[in-house]
Structure 1
């Protein structure tokens, strides 16, 4: 069922208020590789990228010498 222009405007307004946008640039051809990878796991590209960022940040936080953590010898 098509969405009316008023519904689209309302959705865009809600998205603008609720989310921040990040413009991601990748080398030619990489977009399709990312899309195929995400789809193979039942995810959207946005969901996959968000998960990748979250998991990397968690891993980095747990790594020795992470920001905010004392390193050996301090």
Structure 2
């Protein structure tokens, strides 16, 4: 059984403040079922969905700037 870690409200508030100060959010919309496909692909290569999307964007921007 997975171990459950409790996070205090103060800890969560600190994390949320850090994220809002250091990151921008993008709301990405994909067709039904595609999120699962993308997640599965990212997981296959040991990446989170977020890191996979960021890497894909970075690689495309790099390729387009050549």
Pairs within 5 Å for 1:36-55: 36-55=40-59
Could you list the runs of 4 or more consecutive aligned residues of structure 1 that deviate by over 6 angstroms after TM superposition? none
**Which residue does the alignment assign to 2:25?**
21
Instruction: Give the helix-richer structure, 1 or 2.
Output: 2
Please tell me whether residue 8 in structure 1 is matched to residue 12 in structure 2: yes
How many residue pairs match? The answer is 62
How does the TM-score come out when normalised to structure 2? 0.92
How does the TM-score come out when normalised to structure 1? 0.82
What is the CA-CA distance between 1:2 and the residue it aligns to?
A: 1.0
